């Protein structure tokens, strides 16, 4: 059996779904541009630099979900997927995922972005398993806080371990394992698999991958 794990933002999609979702809400006038736009960019740059405070970011990211009823959020997300997200999905990424699925590998997206934003994207790729930061909810309404361990940095390993345990597997169940990512933030999980792959990597990850002899590839059109 083989395991194939995929980061999402700037890996399977040519952009950042977190950032794009906030920009979408700003563009619709749902979030105040004067307050949210500069903060959104600031968090994005911190993530790219490897300095993100995940708790501060999740407060920023999840609070707007709690301010609106779920049916409105679902309607907005359908528009977001159609107009903003699907154009970021290219054929190379689809082929890569399909190759692993067709080989019989157990596949999952492992992303720090919350599951409300990312679950429809995982379904678009045909990937049944999603390991994402979980936005807590009560009676279908988001509370504005995360539930459990955020799927970020070392937390990705914690969450993958728990997922494998829940389905009766562990790392030793697999002859080979892959993780595809663009980001230095994913060094812990990249270092865990047998076949780490840097995808259009940021400069820090590229340097690490070259030194470690990891595969480097591009999924850009």
Q: Which residues are catalytic?
A: 7, 9
Q: To 10 degrees, what angle do helices 54-66 and 33-49 make? A: 140
Torsion-angle region of 200 (φ positive above 0: left; ψ -120 to 50: alpha; else: beta): left
CB count in 10 Å sphere of residue 33 = 13
Report CA 2 to chain centroid distance, whole Å. Answer: 21
**Hey, which bits of the chain come out as E strands?**
2-6, 106-114, 129-138, 141-147, 176-181, 195-199, 215-217
The strand order across the sheet containing 141-147 reads 141-147, 129-138, 106-114, 2-6, 176-181, 195-199, 215-217
Cβ–Cβ under 8 Å, residues 187 and 208: yes
* Dist CA 219 CA 14 (whole Å): 8
Q: What are phi and psi of 10, to 5 degrees?
A: 60, 20
Q: What are phi and psi of 181, to 5 degrees?
A: -155, 155
* 3-class DSSP assignment, residue 10: coil
């Amino acid at each position: 059996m083989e395991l194939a794990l995929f980061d999402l933002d700037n890996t399977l999609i040519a952009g950042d779904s977190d950032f794009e979702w906030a920009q979408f809400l700003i563009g619709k006038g749902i979030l105040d541009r004067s307050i949210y736009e500069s903060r959104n960019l600031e968090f994005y740059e911190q993530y790219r630099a490897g300095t993100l405070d995940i708790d501060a970011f999740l407060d920023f990211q999840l609070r707007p979900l709690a301010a609106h009823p779920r049916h409105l959020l679902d309607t907005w997300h359908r528009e977001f997927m159609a107009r903003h997200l699907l154009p970021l999905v290219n054929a190379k990424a689809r082929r890569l995922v399909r190759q692993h699925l067709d080989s019989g590998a157990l596949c999952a997206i492992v992303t720090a972005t919350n599951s409300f934003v990312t679950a429809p994207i995982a379904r678009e790729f045909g990937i049944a398993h999603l390991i994402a930061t979980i936005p807590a909810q009560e009676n279908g309404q988001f509370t504005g806080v995360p539930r459990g361990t955020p799927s970020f940095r070392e937390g990705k390993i914690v969450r993958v371990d728990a997922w494998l345990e829940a389905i009766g597997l562990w790392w030793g169940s697999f002859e080979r394992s892959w993780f595809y990512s663009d980001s230095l933030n994913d060094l812990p999980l990249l270092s865990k698999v047998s076949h780490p792959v840097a995808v259009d990597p940021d400069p820090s990850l590229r340097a690490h991958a070259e030194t470690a002899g990891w595969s480097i590839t591009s999924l850009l059109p």
